[in-house]
């Protein structure tokens, strides 16, 4: 029997967050805000290298019921796995490294979003908050539950401090604040893809994110018109981005970009550098770094960026056949050049038929997506589940995904 991920409506999610708030804080919230997880169709591990990505916001959300305080304290209650977890912290205690490597790292996404928003000035003021959290975004699946948490809290704190919802300019600043929360407070070296998708998502649209220019462009994702759906298979393999593996990959790219910029190469990113693979390989040789590793990592960034730009054109032209081929090629590069897949991910990729399939998210566990005919959803999911069982892997869970709206107020 297949396991399918359930999704609550905004109203039901808001009721759950409000009930959790009442039971923990014995008062009423000022409102309930929600932010979605995201799925990335293509463009992986390029957001920190001036590349491009095509994600969309999911219809699965994290909801936060929030009320202001006046004593400088954040009181945070989160419902997860049938249990309620509490962390209370004064805002003055929060800062770089506060939650890195701790059992309460999840609270760093919450407190960090408020801290960074205040530091950056996008959140005008905050004297403390009571926050109750419920979520339908699977944790550890590569669907960005962390960004959903950060962005829901950031939008709530912004609206409570300003009295109005954020416009696109404010959302851009909130993206940067949420990135700081994740990078500095929690210690996860993410690059902005997730936060952009969670804050700028729109129902029925995918986003083309250009990390060289900062452009965010919404494009139709009308696969239903072609009788196709996007199947997500969460492998349920352990997945975390703050354990060093993600950071080591980014460290190589950051070092290359720093060296290329110092050598006078045009621009500050791999994307801006002509013959970037050859230039990076020369640098590795001269610096005593592993030439093979550097060459593979940079080749992925260069090729993945080119794939994504082509995929954006294919998506707008309705050429889903070519789009599906590019998805396959993306996974192969992530497996062979960036080396971020796992046996579980590769197993699901193969079982899904490869064409139209790829891992999504940072890798090292998480989910595989497959763009398939609607009539093939059940058979594809069954093939993935059977392959996982044969390989001795955990039973996957499944979701048929559609683009949803970005962070917003849903009640109160």
Sign of the alpha-carbon torsion through 169, 175, 177, 180: negative
Which is nearest to 302 in space by CA: 358, 259, 247, 253? 253
Angle between helices 343-351 and 320-336 (to 10 degrees): 150
Which is nearest to 158 in space by CA: 203, 118, 109? 118
End-to-end CA distance of the chain: 39
Which is nearest to 124 in space by CA: 151, 101, 102, 157? 157
Q: Determine which one of 10, 194, 210, 234 is catalytic.
A: 194
Q: Cβ contacts of residue 227 below 8 Å, gap of 6+?
A: 373, 374, 375
Tell how strand 397-401 and strand 3-4 pair up: parallel
Distance (Å, whole) CA 254 – CA 112: 23
Instruction: Could you list the beta-strand ranges (E) of 24-158.
Output: 31-42, 52-68, 73-80, 83-90, 128-135
For the question of residue 194 being annotated catalytic, the response is: yes
Report, as residue numbers or ranges, the catalytic residues: 194
């Amino acid at each position: 029997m297949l396991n399918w991920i359930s999704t609550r409506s905004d109203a039901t999610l808001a009721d759950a967050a409000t009930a959790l708030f009442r039971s923990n804080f014995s008062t009423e919230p000022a409102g309930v805000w929600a932010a979605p997880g995201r799925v990335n169709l293509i463009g992986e591990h390029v957001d920190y290298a001036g590349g491009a990505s095509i994600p969309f916001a999911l219809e699965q959300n994290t909801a936060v019921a929030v009320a202001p305080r006046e004593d400088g304290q954040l009181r945070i209650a989160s419902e997860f796995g049938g249990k309620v977890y509490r962390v209370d912290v004064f805002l003055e205690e929060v800062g770089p490294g506060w939650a890195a490597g701790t059992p309460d790292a999840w609270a760093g996404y919450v407190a960090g979003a408020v801290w960074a928003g205040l530091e950056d000035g996008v959140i005008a003021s905050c004297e403390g908050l009571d926050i109750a959290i419920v979520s339908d975004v699977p944790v550890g699946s590569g669907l960005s539950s962390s960004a959903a948490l950060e962005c829901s809290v950031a939008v709530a704190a912004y609206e409570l401090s300003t009295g109005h919802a954020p416009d696109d300019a404010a959302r851009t600043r909130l993206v940067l604040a949420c990135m700081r929360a994740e990078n500095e407070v929690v210690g996860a070296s993410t690059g902005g893809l997730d936060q952009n998708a969670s804050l700028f998502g729109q129902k029925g649209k995918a986003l083309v994110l250009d990390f060289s220019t900062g452009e965010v462009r919404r494009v139709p994702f009308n696969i239903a018109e072609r009788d196709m759906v996007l199947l997500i298979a969460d492998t349920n393999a352990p997945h975390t981005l703050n354990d060093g593996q993600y950071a080591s990959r980014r460290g190589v790219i950051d070092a290359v970009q720093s060296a290329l910029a110092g050598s006078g190469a045009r621009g500050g990113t791999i994307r801006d550098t002509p013959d970037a693979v050859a230039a990076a390989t020369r640098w590795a040789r001269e610096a005593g770094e592993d030439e093979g590793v550097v060459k593979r990592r940079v080749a992925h960034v260069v090729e993945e960026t080119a794939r994504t730009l082509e995929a954006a054109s294919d998506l707008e032209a309705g050429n889903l056949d070519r789009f599906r081929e590019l998805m396959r090629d993306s996974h192969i590069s992530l497996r062979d050049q960036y080396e971020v897949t796992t046996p579980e991910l590769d197993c699901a990729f193969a079982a899904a038929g490869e064409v139209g399939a790829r891992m999504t998210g940072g890798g090292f566990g998480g989910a595989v997506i497959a763009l398939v005919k609607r009539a093939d959803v059940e058979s594809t999911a069954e093939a993935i589940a059977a392959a996982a069982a044969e390989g001795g892997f955990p039973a996957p869970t499944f979701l048929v995904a559609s683009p949803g709206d970005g962070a917003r107020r849903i009640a109160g």
